[in-house]
Amino acid sequence: MMKRIKAACVCQTLHFMLKEDAEHDWAVKQVEQEVEQYKKTLERNHTQYKITEQTVQPDGSVIIKVIKQYNNSPVGNYLN
């Protein structure tokens, strides 16, 4: 018997949290930079992805819901 992955993606909810011991405005800027760095890393690694939701929380932290390619598997219709 043989099986092959036809399509595979991972759904994640990521919470980019503020550093607790840092000054608030600086911590918010760090979170913004961390979010951008995360996106750049996905692109640099040629990972196909789609951010379905990005929400700034009242404290300045950011929650991202993302569907992304699993390893190097084809993504099929997951990202449409």
Q: Tell me: the pLDDT tens digits for 31-49?
A: 999 999 999 999 999 999 9
- Backbone torsion region of residue 51, taken as left when φ is above 0, otherwise alpha when ψ lies between -120 and 50, otherwise beta: beta
Percent of the chain, pLDDT > 90?
Answer: 94
**Contacts (Cβ under 8 Å, ≥6 apart) of 51:** 39, 64, 65, 66
The amino acid at 75: V
Q: How far is CA 79 from CA 3, 9, 42, in A?
A: 23, 9, 14
* Band of residue 13 on the pLDDT scale cut at 50, 70, 90: very high
**Contacts (Cβ under 8 Å, ≥6 apart) of 22:** 30
